């Protein structure tokens, strides 16, 4: 019984350690990556705009999904760029393609987010301006 407890405790600590490492990675990206900072500032702006416009639960789900998607892909993009830079310091067409493709994934998610934001916010802004 004692060894079972120890095994569970070790697994629990390693799960906690995994969370700490993940948070450390996110904080590192926030501190060191300009694009992550930009996405966070835009996310905060969108959240404030959502609060002001009293979004429905469904609208918040779409907004939350888009914010999470863009930031997650930006973190993956950053990780890919770091790994490529770690592997080679010389120009290689495949290294460039890997970086460009990862950046493209972030771009697609950002475009989707702008479309979703437009669908949600434009009618609310027009209504506020026209008083309708």
Q: Within this chain, do residues 62 and 117 fall inside the same structural domain, yes or no?
A: yes
Q: What is the DSSP code string of 98-118? A: HHHHHHHHHHHHHHHHHHHHH
Residue whose token pair is 């979703």: 116
**Quick one: how far is CA 15 from the chain centroid?**
22
Chain segment 97-106, per-residue pLDDT in tens: 999 999 999 9
| Residues marked as catalytic | 74
Q: Within this chain, do residues 100 and 41 fall inside the same structural domain, yes or no?
A: yes
Q: Within this chain, do residues 45 and 94 fall inside the same structural domain, yes or no?
A: yes
pTM equals: 0.84
Q: Within this chain, do residues 9 and 69 fall inside the same structural domain, yes or no?
A: no
Number of domains present in the structure of the chain = 2
d(CA 93, CA 19): 35
Residue whose token pair is 């799960």: 15
Q: Give the CATH number for residue 116.
A: 1.10.287.3610
Q: Within this chain, do residues 84 and 102 fall inside the same structural domain, yes or no?
A: yes
Q: Within this chain, do residues 28 and 47 fall inside the same structural domain, yes or no?
A: no
Q: What is the DSSP letter of 53?
A: T
Q: Within this chain, do residues 3 and 57 fall inside the same structural domain, yes or no?
A: no
Token code pair at residue 57: 């639960």
Q: Within this chain, do residues 18 and 48 fall inside the same structural domain, yes or no?
A: no
Q: Within this chain, do residues 20 and 38 fall inside the same structural domain, yes or no?
A: no
Chain segment 12-44, per-residue pLDDT in tens: 568 788 999 999 999 999 999 999 999 999 999
Q: Within this chain, do residues 81 and 21 fall inside the same structural domain, yes or no?
A: no
Q: Within this chain, do residues 14 and 69 fall inside the same structural domain, yes or no?
A: no
Q: Within this chain, do residues 5 and 54 fall inside the same structural domain, yes or no?
A: no
Helix 57-87 × helix 2-32 angle, to 10°: 90
Q: What residues make up the domain containing 4?
A: 1-32
What does the pLDDT read at residue 89? 86
Split at pLDDT 50, 70, 90, the class of 5 is: very low
């Amino acid at each position: 019984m004692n060894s079972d407890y120890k095994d569970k405790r070790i697994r629990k600590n390693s799960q906690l350690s995994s969370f700490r490492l993940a948070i450390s990675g996110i904080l590192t990206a926030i501190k060191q990556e300009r694009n992550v900072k930009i996405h966070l500032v835009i996310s905060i702006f969108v959240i404030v705009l959502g609060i002001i416009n009293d979004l429905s639960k469904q609208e918040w789900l779409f907004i939350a999904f888009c914010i999470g998607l863009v930031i997650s892909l930006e973190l993956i993009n950053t990780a890919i760029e770091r790994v490529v830079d770690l592997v080679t310091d010389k120009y290689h067409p495949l290294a460039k393609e890997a970086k460009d493709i990862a950046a493209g994934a972030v771009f697609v998610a950002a475009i989707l987010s702008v479309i979703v934001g437009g669908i949600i916010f434009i009618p609310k802004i027009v209504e506020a301006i026209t008083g309708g």
